[in-house]
Amino acid sequence: MKKWLINSVLFTVFICCACSNESVTSYEPTAANLEIPKLFSDNIIPPVIPNTNPQTIEGVALGKTLFFDPILSGDNSQACADCHAPQNAFTDTSRFSDGIDGTLGTRNSMPLFNLAWNYDEQFFWDGKSFSLEHQAFSPVTDPTEMKSSWTDVVQKLQQHPEYPTLFEQAFGTQRIDSTLVTKAIAQFERTLISANSKFDKFLLGEVNLTPEEQNGFDVFMDEARGDCFHCHGSDKNPLWTDNAFHNNGLDATFTDLGLGTVTGDPADNGKFRSPSLRNLEFTAPYMHDGRFNTLEEVIEHYSEGLQNSPTIDPLMKKVALGGVGLSEKDKSDLKAFLLTLSDYDFISNPDFLNQ
């Protein structure tokens, strides 16, 4: 009995010492709350941050490193940033981004900013991804993009001299997998917040608009003229998009079904996500297939170029007339307003650059 008691005490001491050592050596990443701009906090609900992937300083740093590292591609030649360049508001100036072997896709890369406020959690032009984490998952294996496999990517990261330590700092483990990779990238992408354009400063009372810019905003908000705000927000919606899917009259027949490919519902054919109008100065070409090279072409489409089809959005009220029929002055002023949504600080923010 005495021997049993002694062994029990020794075992308890051993366990307690082990627990004590673990508590000393265990590591918790540092919480990093998103910096919410005033216009966002005043006008829209808080961002979407999954409980399973809280923002941390170490996670964001790891995500940024991965975003700019071509190690994720099959031949180590292409990084996320090659199709989502900071100087272009994290999109590509090519109409169709090419993969590692020069294979062209069929869509223009969407810009990446203010993604944490995509409340329906549907990403890409056709909504095929159901979370920001999942959005970061598919390009690695896409045959027209990075053309790799997660088995190969994980192996390269696991054998890298630095990544196991970076993953341990961010997630408490050196065992790397695709889930942790995409969690880190998603954390970095949620920090890509754009909210310091001229129009933002105007709303905060810091600058004035020119008469042309003011008239352009009035055209944008006027249902009898531009009628743009239903899909693309307003001074009360700093995202400048409704993040919904619309057939905006690009084609009478479709070679790309858009949302219809994902849902299988013919009523969704030809519908694509409304992109944000922020940073249009940096994100040409425009539309899901990059068919328009200039803002003038985009405005001309809505003014005179609408095409009717069975799934045309009801908001395209003047499709029978070809569009809203803007005057030349209103077209010019509308462009002037749209350019006030350019955020130069965003595209030069050192936190978002590969430095």
Task: Give the pLDDT confidence of 178-188 residue by residue, as tens digits.
Answer: 999 999 999 99
Give tens-digit pLDDT for 101-118.
Answer: 888 889 999 999 999 999
Look at residue 17 in the predicted model and tell me its pLDDT.
Answer: 43
DSSP line for 203-232 = HTTSS---HHHHHHHHHHH-TTTT--HHHH
Look at residue 26 in the predicted model and tell me its pLDDT.
Answer: 66
Look at residue 90 in the predicted model and tell me its pLDDT.
Answer: 98
The confidence band for 1, taking pLDDT boundaries of 50, 70 and 90, is very low
Question: Is the per-residue pLDDT at 168 higher than 70?
Answer: yes
The two beta strands, 245-246 and 272-273, are antiparallel
Locus of tokens 């700092």: 169
Question: Is the per-residue pLDDT at 18 higher than 80?
Answer: no
- Report, as an integer, the average pLDDT of 40-62: 96
Locus of tokens 């001229």: 198
Look at residue 55 in the predicted model and tell me its pLDDT.
Answer: 98
Give tens-digit pLDDT for 272-302.
Answer: 999 999 999 999 999 999 999 999 999 999 9
- Report, as an integer, the average pLDDT of 65-83: 97
Question: Is the per-residue pLDDT at 49 higher than 50?
Answer: yes
Mean pLDDT score of the chain: 93
Question: Is the per-residue pLDDT at 119 higher than 60?
Answer: yes
Write the single-letter amino acid at 123: F
What is the percentage of the chain residues whose pLDDT exceeds 70? 93
Superfamily of domain 198-346: Cytochrome c-like domain (1.10.760.10)
Look at residue 8 in the predicted model and tell me its pLDDT.
Answer: 44
Question: Is the per-residue pLDDT at 332 higher than 50?
Answer: yes
**Out of 88-92, 93-97, 258-262, 267-271, which region has the weakest mean confidence (pLDDT)?**
93-97
How far lies 114's CA from each of 241, 264, 285, in Å? 11, 29, 20
Write the single-letter amino acid at 265: D
Question: Is the per-residue pLDDT at 255 higher than 70?
Answer: yes
Look at residue 355 in the predicted model and tell me its pLDDT.
Answer: 82
**Same-fold call for 38-193 versus 198-346:** yes
Question: Is the per-residue pLDDT at 59 higher than 70?
Answer: yes
- Report, as an integer, the average pLDDT of 12-22: 41
Quick one: fold of 38-193?
Answer: Cytochrome Bc1 Complex; Chain D, domain 2 (1.10.760)
Cα separation, 236 vs 42, in Å, equals 9
Cα separation, 92 vs 215, in Å, equals 31
- Report, as an integer, the average pLDDT of 129-158: 95
Q: Give the domain ranges of the chain.
A: 38-193, 198-346
Look at residue 68 in the predicted model and tell me its pLDDT.
Answer: 98
Question: Is the per-residue pLDDT at 51 higher than 60?
Answer: yes
Look at residue 5 in the predicted model and tell me its pLDDT.
Answer: 41
| Structure tokens given for 171 | 């997630």
Look at residue 181 in the predicted model and tell me its pLDDT.
Answer: 98
Q: What's the gap between Cα 181 and its chain centre?
A: 17
Give tens-digit pLDDT for 208-231.
Answer: 999 999 999 999 999 999 999 999
